[in-house]
Amino acid sequence: MERVSVLCLSLLLCSLSGAELQDNEIIEQREVSPESVNVPEPQPCPSDLHAVLREMSVKLAENRLMIQQLQTLNQEQNAKLAKYEVRIEELQTLNQAQASELKSLKTRTNVTENQVESLRRDRAVGQVAFSASLLESGSGTLGPFSAHTTLVFKHVVSNIGKAYSPHTGFFTAPVRGAYHFEFYILVLGGSDASRVGLVKNGEHIFNAGEHQTNGFGNAANGVTLLLEAGDVVFLRLWQNNVIYDDQIHYSSFSGHLLFPM
């Protein structure tokens, strides 16, 4: 556009110069005789306007072609940009879905870990069992006593969970649950009987007894109890009764947790 303006201005100046020259020639012809005036021949301005116009036309065509190419490239880039925007939206949606799934997975994982930990605790507290016989060594008869006497079974064969005490004879429930107990007694023949009772927190539950005048006599019993954590179970020898045991371990006391509740 700048070259076109310059060209137009040049053409205008040339026209004005030509017109002025003609006016001056007319005036001079009136004042001076033709013999005394030497008129110069007019010079072209510019020398080749057509060549300049052709060159400008070529440049203009090249610029138009370049503009078309740039427009086409711009359209292609806009189309690619639109595709990228759609893809970005899809990825954002996918990312949100994956984030939700990850959150849900973490929640399920936490629940599973809690369940595993709960099962582990239940298994740990569920491992409760013991068996013990009356005498730790040797043989002998206990009793008769003038009052009910707690029997302490000192020869411990197993004590899983450490709920039974060989020092007091007490079994203390570690957790709430169903427990099963069994007890066996042996008595020598004679005038004294053997009666043993199972006691829960001071309450008499079950009993086993035997009286033999000759030889040996034995008795046994068992019970399943619902115990709360901290409940105490033990065996008690009735007053004026006896119980016998030796290295064969006839008289025994056993119990175990069936399942927690």
pLDDT score at 1: 54
Return d(Cα 229, Cα 179) in angstroms, integer.
Answer: 11
3-state secondary structure of 193: coil
> What percent of the chain stands above pLDDT 90?
58
Find where tokens 């119990």 sit: 255
Pick the CATH number of 127-260 from 2.60.120.40, 3.30.420.10, 1.20.272.10, 3.90.1150.10: 2.60.120.40
Which parts of the chain register pLDDT below 50? 4, 6, 16-19, 21, 26-27, 30-34, 37
The answer to whether 254 touches 181, Cβ cutoff 8 Å, is: yes
DSSP type of residue 63: H
pLDDT score at 122: 65
Find where tokens 């090249």 sit: 62
3-state secondary structure of 154: coil
Domain boundaries defined on the chain: 2-82, 127-260
pLDDT score at 195: 95
3-state secondary structure of 18: helix
pLDDT score at 120: 76
pLDDT digits (tens, 9 = 90+) for 40-93: 555 555 567 888 888 888 889 989 999 999 999 999 999 999 999 999 989 999
- Long-range pairs of 99-108 with CB within 8 A, sequence gap ≥ 24: none
